Amino acid sequence: MVPLAMQEPACAAIECQDCGFYRIGLFMGLDSGDTTLLDRYVKKKHMLKRGQVLYRAGEAFTCVYAIRSGSVKTYISTDDGRLQITGFHIPGELLGLNAMDDKRYNCDAMALETTSVCEISLDCFEALARQIPSAHYQMLRMMSKEIKLNQELMLLLGKKSAEERLATYLLTLSRRFALRNYSPTRFNLSMSRGDIGDYLGIAEETVCRIFTRFQEEGVVTTERRHIILNDLKRLSAIACEPCH
Amino acid sequence: MVPLAMQEPACAAIECQDCGFYRIGLFMGLDSGDTTLLDRYVKKKHMLKRGQVLYRAGEAFTCVYAIRSGSVKTYISTDDGRLQITGFHIPGELLGLNAMDDKRYNCDAMALETTSVCEISLDCFEALARQIPSAHYQMLRMMSKEIKLNQELMLLLGKKSAEERLATYLLTLSRRFALRNYSPTRFNLSMSRGDIGDYLGIAEETVCRIFTRFQEEGVVTTERRHIILNDLKRLSAIACEPCH
DNA sequence: CGCCCTGTTGAATCTGGTCAAACTAAGTGG
DNA sequence: CCACTTAGTTTGACCAGATTCAACAGGGCG
């Protein structure tokens, strides 16, 4: 078994054509020669159209999904139709892992746009995990990271003004794009204003109003879903981020 | 390595006098004969007074803590002093695990009352985990469970009215007590009104106002921190819980 | 070309926050 | 044991930010 405190494994240059697995932390421990493993274990490939559902809360936990392209939102909802989006997920991310506790998905997952995912059955996933010594440890890290993100979202939902929420959101996106070598200041959103509102805990209309306010102040430029961040410093000042 | 889908291990009747480890899922795979393991690995015992800090966000991840008695709140905060409580933790729970990703605690942990914890150094914890085949898997389950709880809190923070928030909170407490064979309808809170507000994303005053409203309607009876839930059905109707 | 979905803006309303003050319980020290 | 301090709780008055409802604009797609 691998010690818990092991160093971050170097990112082996492995690529599964189907899934972009090479980007997924979990599989970074794999040696290039093991690429065939992926092909052996990754069975199905799915294509989802905008609005199609990958899984629903309460369904039995049978598969893990790796996003290959596109994007997915996960959300939970009340009986009377209110919903809270818990995350937007992009290529390279793994979905479904947090059904591990009670063997049922605890949220819905829906494609935001045309999205391609690899479905990995639980059996295959376990077999794959057994082949990779650090797999469990990597999974722990992934979940630990998700918990950290969730806590920051809780701070946002519990204590921030609408303006701070949107600024925080734009900055988070910016950094996420930067990590993937996309422009941190110019990007297209795959989610609607309504989705942003359902993620930030504010009304769609409020999202719009604050976008226009930011635009009037010159902080951002928006053209429907195309966003340009003109002043990251300013945005960061507005966002009021958690201190560490 | 243990298959991911293994059954919930039977709760072995093991008790570590120091830590109440027998209650912690992680160690339920241990055979009774292995009790000495615990004594070997669990080094320090800490006593905290109300308000004392166990660890702070940003500090290096060196220890995991098992709560033996008392209770602890974890929270993250902004530079300007606003804070969001992310959880209240009670005996048998393990604290610090979600520092696994970046090797730093991502929140503060503070005792709500006189609290006794077992400190387990990371080295010891790893060694202990190596002795227990299902340890990593149990940790995954624990974190998966935490993610699920966090998501429910997000729904509450993002979409619920103050009344729904408090009702949800009281019900959650009630169930938590019931699981431990305490009365689900009569209990004492270890947290202040302010803490409840900082957890539910509402002001202390609002918490008070809604407590009195509930009391006027006969749903609960409160006497400072002593709470009696008179009508769980009603409370549940108010709470508007997530559907599964 | 026209429909529908998304986004935007305005006006009225309201929930919950803020500020201030009174009150209670529990210590604390002389 | 009592005066005094402190922390926690409760209530009231007022206000502001955000929601709701409604109308409308503009793109994209059939």
Q: Where are the domains of chain A?
A: 4-144, 160-239
CATH superfamily of A4-144: Jelly Rolls (2.60.120.10)
> Reduced to 3 DSSP states, what percent helix, strand and coil does chain A have, rounded to the nearest 5?
40, 25, 35
Q: In whole numbers, what is the pLDDT of chain A averaged over residues?
A: 85
CA B85 to chain A, closest CA, distance in angstroms equals 8
Question: Sign of the C-alpha dihedral, residues A15, A18, A20, A21?
Answer: negative
- Condensed to tens digits (0 to 9), the pLDDT of residues B35-75 reads 455 555 666 788 999 999 999 999 999 999 999 899 999 99
Return the residue matching tokens 């339920």: B28
Measuring from the CA of residue B204 to each C1' atom, give the nucleotide at the shortest distance.
Answer: D9
Phi then psi for A60, rounded to 5 degrees?
-65, 140
Instruction: Please give the average pLDDT of every successive group of 10 residues along chain A, which has 244 residues.
Output: 38 44 52 52 81 96 92 95 96 92 95 93 84 82 95 98 98 95 96 98 98 96 96 95 73
Q: Is A113 near strand D, with its CB below 7 A from some atom of it? A: no
Strand A94-95 versus strand B63-69 pairing type: unpaired
Burial class (CB in 10 A: 0-12, 13-18, 19+), A223: exposed
- Residue A159: both structure tokens together: 């204590």
List the alpha helices (DSSP H) in A132-226.
135-159, 162-179, 193-200, 204-216
Indicate if A160-239 has the same CATH topology as A4-144. Answer: no
CB contact (8 A) between residue B159 and residue A83: yes
**Type of residue at B123:** D
Q: Per DSSP, which regions of chain B are E strands?
A: 44-48, 53-55, 63-69, 72-77, 83-89, 94-95, 108-111, 115-121, 186-188, 220-223, 226-229
Q: What is the CATH T-level fold of the domain A160-239, as seen in this structure?
A: Arc Repressor Mutant, subunit A (1.10.10)
User: Taking CB atoms and an 8 Å cutoff, what residues of chain B touch A129?
Assistant: 1, 4
Q: What pTM did the predictor assign?
A: 0.89
CB contact (8 A) between residue B101 and residue A4: no
Closest-CA residue of chain B to A130: B1
